[in-house]
Structure 1
Amino acid sequence: MRVVVNKYLIGRHFVGIALWPFIVVKDSFLKEDESFINHERIHLRQQAELLVLPFYLIYLLEYIVRVIQYRNSQLAYRNISFEREAYENEDDLDYLKKRKLWSFMKYW
């Protein structure tokens, strides 16, 4: 896993993204934020489990469903199953060592 800094990342609330096999961050100080990097590593694992492309398709479809459900883009984002797993476990730096295959499914 390689962390890449790209200051041109778009969006006010968007400071990083896991794009297989990289983690792209807006500011270099984020490379030192262990919880943030762990959050993105969880996404990399999710992507690997779903063979990358299906992850992005499911993520987008679930986001659309959640926007319709909550009528709020931020609330929709926070309730995507992949995000719920990552946010709930980002502070547990050993999470990926004990995580079971397809654990995101219990967040649906």
Structure 2
Amino acid sequence: MPTHRSFLPRYTTRKRSRPRFTMEAFYLAIIAAGVVGYFGAEIAGMPAALANFAGGCKIKGNVSIGSGERIYHLPGQEYYGETRISPQYGERWFCSEAEARAAGWRRAGR
């Protein structure tokens, strides 16, 4: 029966040092670069439109595709649920109707 001394040197119990740059760090860097590329560099400074949403502002400021008209939608209105806010098109969130009107937006008809 072999003794522990007969094992090859690669089976020793000596702990190896971990490399400085691991594959996990590499994958994390790739994912982070993709997130920043998708959301843009504004993710660090959170644009005002997203900051208002995070603060609980519920009025959606939408830009009409056909006419470019700026319309705001209140909770409970007909198309409020279907309206999506895309800050890259100039759309944003408002905290009050007065704020939306002061910015030059009009109330949705229904």
- TM-score tier (shorter): under 0.3
Which has the higher Rg, Structure 1 or Structure 2?
2
> More helix by proportion, 1 or 2?
1
Q: When the two structures are superposed, what TM-score results if normalisation uses the length of structure 1?
A: 0.26
